[in-house]
Chains A and B, each alone.
Chain A
Amino acid sequence: MTYSILAYGIPILLAAIGGYLTDISGKMNIALEGLIMVGAFTAYGVMAATSSYLLAFTAAALVPALISAGYETLTTVYHGNIFVTGLAVNLLLPGLTALLSVRIYASSGVLSLQTDHMLSSVTLLQIITVITLIVFVTAYGILHQTKAGLLLRAAGLNRRAFEIRGGSPDAVQRTAFALSGLLCGLSGAYLTLSLHAFVPNISSGKGWLALAAIYLGDRRLSGLVYAALFFSVAEYAANRAQGLFDMPASLFLGFPFLITFLGLFVKAMFRSRRNDHKKP
């Protein structure tokens, strides 16, 4: 159970931290889904070529980081709308990965890794969990204890004031986008390496769930953990429910969304009742 919940939640949490950094910088990266794909594909390519986990993770982090920062820059320079360019990038990246896949490996289907000297799923999960912990603690430290974190939040809170003080909110936002790409890349790399294969559409909506986690977590860093945990438990429960009840299996597919929605509702209801009490 712990395995299942972590294996499902960690990729979402990583991407969500990335998305959260862009969100507080004042400009949200909605291309997480596509960036996870790119990370997953890069990890496959490097792993297949070098058999090195270190290189695979590094490359998978760098490539999406570059793409993310690149499209953010393009959008800023040409005054585009980051939301639409994000949608476009989400369309573009899976298409490009598939084209590259056909060019390099003559297939846009499942690409398997040689499994002879691969780590077991459990070991890999332990590694990615440690990485995620480090990422989380670092992000927490930077955001709340350092000047860089202050800058990041300031860029999001008040752009004008930031500019007047002589800072460059664009540079801050670009950094946030690069970081979000990096984290999505790690998330994608984990997906590929734990499956021992790259599968088309491997991100399967995890990028979107990561965005949802930001709001579900009340736009707080610690909230992301709860949100990712909530998604994972809901998913786990839904997967289990398929076997437990004598009902058509496909009835349970939407349950993670529904449970999360209800959770959000219940939480808000309690909060509003509490507030009602406080008021005279």
Chain B
Amino acid sequence: MKGPFSGSPNHSKITMISLSLVMILIMTFVSCAKEQESQPYRIAVFVPGIVSGSPIYEMLVAGAQQAADEHEQAVVQVIEGGSNQGLWEESISTLAASQEHDLIVTSNPAMPAIAAAVSAKFPEQRFAIMDGALEGNEAIYTLRYDQQQQAMLAGHLAGLITASSMSGANDQLKIGLIAGQEYPDMTDLILPGFTAGAQTAHASVTVEFRVVGNWYDAAKGSELARAMIADGVDVILPIAGGANQGVLTAAADAGTYVLWYDTNGYALQKGTVAGSTAIRQDKATYETVVKAIEGTLPFGSAETVGLERGYITFIEDDELYLELVPQEIRDQQHAFIESMMQ
């Protein structure tokens, strides 16, 4: 027998050859099976994450799909990018390099910068980006939701509840925000908005801010929430992906309240979720993609939408909200929403 390492080069050569053989075999088999169809308007939806279980991305896909369904000459393909930011640019570049898509639709505050970088390499590619902002690149259209406004809605209700005599509210005027990570929109828009909203409701409310460090560690989310609750926080807004679940459990155990962000969350934990904002990403995506198919999307411009046009809502008509939150607080919250619309 040869030495431990001298035998290996041959070995891997043979491996490589056999591997190649297997692959070539499958390749020929595959090539026969593939055909090209005629050229409709081809849309790629790039999801910087995973669709399933993420309402924001589910709405993104649904909106694009609906637009394509209504236009015979349009097809949609969904690509999941996973949660590693470092790989998004390469994935988008690969999409652009394939030249198989007339439009790439995606959603995330980080995507405009990535799209701009890809656009420098592949200037022909067109992008429509939801939930992000970039003006002046002729290949890119962006639409963003007014996150500060949305956070203010949540903050205002939190301020009302913590100062109220609701059974889960204590004497202290402390509310909390738990984020998955510290990202620009979080520190620059959401946290200030949440604080401003709460202080509009009651001037001396203070906001505790905690970070989970990722978007999935539910046990840590739960632990951070418990620590906050022990410090006297009685309303928490979690924006931490899967870790939200931990916050929900901790608050339910302690009998305090949670506010939900982006989607209707009242039914997730009855008696705990006391308020919910939502964004209409499906509507925004649908309208954007329809304009793109019809050739009327103003590439190069950046839009900001919010409460006024119905892209951000505070869900007031859910039965669980009506049951849990007293009339007086609901009226004040309603008045606040009306004032924001102006």
Contacts and interface: CB of A to CB of B under 8 A. Distances in A.
Contacts of B227: 4, 239-240, 242-243
A202 interface: yes
Interface string A38-60: 00000000000000000000000
B217 A248 contact: no
Contacts of B253: 120-122
B238 to A, nearest CB: 12
A23 to B, nearest CB: 25
Given A202-B216, A249-B211, A121 B249 contact: yes
Interface stretch (A143-151, A171-179, A192-200, A264-272): A192-200
A90 interface: no
B313 to A, nearest CB: 22
A102 B155 CA distance: 35
Given A204-B214, A250-B211, A253-B211, A239 B220 contact: yes
Q: Which of B210, B227, B243 is packed against the most chain A CB atoms within 10 Å?
A: B227
Interface stretch (A73-81, A104-112, A156-164): A104-112
A129 interface: no
Interface in B209-259: 209-211, 213-214, 216-220, 222-224, 226-228, 231, 242-246, 249, 252-253
Given A195-B218, A201-B216, A202-B216, A250 B182 contact: yes
Given A194-B249, A243-B210, A249-B209, A199 B218 contact: yes
Contacts of A106: 52
Interface in B36-60: 50, 52-54
Interface in A18-42: none
A144 to B, nearest CB: 32
A197 B242 CA distance: 10
A196 B249 contact: yes
Contacts of B52: 98, 101-102, 106-109
A109 B268 CA distance: 13
A16 interface: no
Contact of B53 (A109, A205, A242): A109
Interface in B173-207: 179, 181-182
B269 interface: yes
A7 interface: yes
Contacts of B213: 250, 253
Contact of A108 (B53, B214, B219, B223): B53
Contact of A195 (B209, B224, B245, B268): B245
B2 to A, nearest CB: 16
A195 B211 contact: no
Interface string A111-132: 0100100001110000000000
B242 A201 contact: yes
B208 interface: yes
Interface residues of A, number: 39
Interface residues of B, number: 35
A8 interface: yes
A164 to B, nearest CB: 22
A72 interface: no
A11 B228 CA distance: 23
Contacts of A108: 50, 52-53
A147 B155 CA distance: 64
A72 to B, nearest CB: 24
Interface string B295-328: 0000000000000000000000000000000000
Nearest to A194: B249
Given A195-B246, A199-B242, A250 B181 contact: yes
Contacts of A195: 218-219, 222, 245-246, 249
Contact of B223 (A201, A205, A239): A239
B129 to A, nearest CB: 23
A235 B220 CA distance: 9
A98 B211 CA distance: 26
Contacts of A107: 52-53
A236 B230 CA distance: 13
Contacts of B244: 110
A191 interface: yes
A195 to B, nearest CB: 5
Contact of A202 (B50, B53, B218): B218
A239 B245 contact: no
A248 B182 contact: yes
A126 to B, nearest CB: 14
A243 B216 CA distance: 21
Contacts of A4: 223, 226-227
Nearest to B269: A115
Contact of A199 (B223, B231, B245): B245
Contacts of B231: 243
Nearest to A204: B217
B155 to A, nearest CB: 18
B219 A112 contact: no
Interface of A: 3-4, 7-8, 11, 98, 101-102, 106-110, 112, 115, 120-122, 191, 194-197, 199-202, 204-205, 235-236, 239-240, 242-243, 248-250, 253
The 6 closest A-B CB pairs, nearest first, are A109-B53, A201-B216, A204-B217, A249-B211, A253-B213, A108-B52
12 contacts: A7-B219, A101-B52, A110-B53, A110-B245, A115-B269, A199-B245, A201-B216, A204-B216, A239-B210, A242-B227, A249-B211, A253-B211
